[in-house]
Amino acid sequence: MILAVETSCDETSVAVVKGGKQILSNVVSSQIDVHERFGGVVPEIASRKHVETITLIMEQAVRDSGYELKDMSAIAVTQGPGLVGALLVGIVAAKSLSLALDVPLIGTHHIAGHIYANELVHDLEYPCLALVVSGGHTELVLLEREGSFRVIGRTRDDAVGEAYDKVARALKLPYPGGPHIDRLAAEAATATVLPRAWLEADSYDFSFSGLKSAVLAVINQTRMKGLELDEAALARGFQESVIDVLVTKSLRAAKAHGVKQLLLCGGVAANSGLRAALEARCEEEALPLLIPPGKLCTDNAAMIGAAAHLKLKRECYSDLELKADPGLSLEEWSVDEPLEQFPKQ
């Protein structure tokens, strides 16, 4: 069993995961109400809130699991990427527990967690392709085998979630903006025509800063002309542009690499428009689409436990010199050792 800690941004979460697939407990404390007044996450406030809650959340997660601390096989913690101050809180707590219990410490990659959240509810088949969409990340990651990550496409500017928040702020919608844009788009009868950034013909990269600027231009031009802005149509146009690019590039990459499954991961995976569009296209292409339930899409410690199990099985542990790494490379975090040479956990 792994006790996992996640404090990369504005959720304090601790979970107990058995065998990399069974969630025994998964406690999440969100700070959305604290940061909402600022229109985004304030790093210093996030760190202080983690300090206030981490011990209580840890105690509750162990209690909810039905086991005791002495039953844990390892302690896992998000090492990066994320806000450095927030990461440090979780790492110090995890190190302390690892030392006190004399069990291995496993520094874990946040994006690997989002990807392997799917393993908590599905069986993965390799090779597979993961579309990671969140507030800070938009990436296409190829998994040729278990625990091996190769980033074949990434955003060159804004992440999808970041673009949603900026557009929502321009429309004076609450933070976080994604759910509000998604709801408005579903209500619209028409869609404002907005550009798509396809980049080079063979590229799997993304770019959303130009789309965000196009939305701001529509808002400003409408107001200068003294016209009433159709916010719902603009939200739908923005969302359709985002989804068109994400879905088209994901399906093209899946076909080019001959994958057996497409995985949707990250907080924006809860977006109903994106889910529906991917489900329709994957059905047309007879490509299995895996999406975790909503509570496992947003930041949580169960996903960190699932990813850390890759390292536990191969006895790849971290030492107490582990440091927070906001720029931690997903590809370098990959596990390359064949599982066959290790005893079964």
- pLDDT over 90 at 86, yes or no: yes
Alpha-carbon distance 323 to 320, whole Å? Answer: 9
Burial zone of 228 (CB within 10 Å; 0-12 exposed, 13-18 middle, 19+ buried): exposed
- φ, ψ for residue 124, nearest 5 deg: -85, 140
261-265 β-sheet, strand order: 150-154, 138-143, 128-133, 261-265, 289-290
Given CA atoms 29, 32, 37, 41 in this order, what sign does their dihedral have? Answer: positive
pTM: 0.93
Average pLDDT rounded to a whole number, residues 206-226: 95
What's residue 338's pLDDT? 63
The greatest distance separating any two alpha carbons of the chain, rounded to the nearest whole angstrom, comes to 71
Alpha-carbon distance 176 to 169, whole Å? Answer: 9
Please report which residue ranges of 78-197 form alpha helices under DSSP H: 84-101, 110-116, 160-170, 178-187
The pLDDT > 90 percentage for the chain reads: 89
Residues 6+ apart with CB under 8 A from 328: 79, 80, 81, 109, 110
> Which pair of tokens denotes residue 303?
């996903």
The pLDDT > 70 percentage for the chain reads: 97
Our CA dihedral for 157, 89, 69, 96, rounded to 10 degrees, sits at 130
Helix, strand, or coil (residue 186): helix
Average pLDDT rounded to a whole number, residues 235-246: 97
Helix, strand, or coil (residue 55): helix
What's residue 135's pLDDT? 83
What's residue 342's pLDDT? 57
Alpha-carbon distance 339 to 87, whole Å? Answer: 29
Q: Where in the chain is the domain with CATH 3.30.420.40?
A: 2-115+297-341, 125-291
The closest alpha carbon to 110, from 142, 58, 149, belongs to 149
125-291 maps to which CATH number? 3.30.420.40
- pLDDT over 70 at 181, yes or no: yes
CB neighbours of residue 121 within 10 Å? 14
Task: Give the least confident one: 44-48, 106-110, 234-238.
Answer: 44-48
Average pLDDT rounded to a whole number, residues 303-320: 97
What's residue 38's pLDDT? 81
CB 215 within 8 A of CB 170: yes
Q: What is the DSSP string of 279-345?
A: HHHHHHTT--EE---HHHHSS-HHHHHHHHHHHHHTT--B-TT----TT--HHHH---S-GGGS---
If phi over 0 gives left and psi between -120 and 50 gives alpha, with beta otherwise, what is residue 176? beta
How far is residue 1 CA from its own chain's centroid? 23
> Which pair of tokens denotes residue 321?
């010199």
What's residue 74's pLDDT? 98
Looking at the domain covering 2-115+297-341, what would its CATH class be? alpha beta
What's residue 275's pLDDT? 94
Question: What does the mean pLDDT of the chain come to?
Answer: 94
